[in-house]
Amino acid sequence: MARRKHRSQLDAIDEINMTPLIDLTFLLLIIFMITTPLLENSVDVSPPEMNASELPDKNSCSINLNRNGQIVFNKIPVTRQELGIRLAALHEQNPKTAVLIRGDGERRYSEIMELMKTVKDAGMTNISLVTMAEGK
């Protein structure tokens, strides 16, 4: 008499088909690869154009930060402390004076912000950053 082996439900667990699980994994991977860049770029930011209105000729002063980091106020080289003193005196004479700040493109952003803080501490409120026109 030969013994027959009876297959039970527990024997079926040994034979799990991995193909659908791999397909699902790749499908989720593709979905995440497509949606992740969309989430990162979801903020709509339009940078301003480089061309702006004409600079005011009257009632303005200019501050330049050259490539070497030297501050030039109305064509006169000054230190940051001297700049604050001159701007405070100018503010007493005419508080509505426009301050035009020009910085060399190779200088750090933090240096321009320090200049703006110096101008603000002197009491000036009309501050503009000057850029080159498009195409130059």
Domain map (residue ranges) of the chain: 60-129
pLDDT in tens, 111-129: 888 888 998 988 888 888 7
pLDDT over 90 (residue 26): yes
Q: Are 75 and 114 in contact (CB under 8 A)?
A: no
96 vs 14, residue with greater confidence:
96
The torsion angle over the Cα atoms of residues 42, 43, 49 and 54, rounded to 10 degrees, is 170
Stated pTM of the model: 0.56
pLDDT of residue 46: 39
pLDDT in tens, 39-87: 654 444 333 445 555 655 678 888 888 888 888 888 888 998 998 999 8
- The second-level CATH assignment, the architecture, of 60-129 is 2-Layer Sandwich (3.30)
How far apart are the C-alpha atoms of 31 and 35, rounded to whole Å? 6
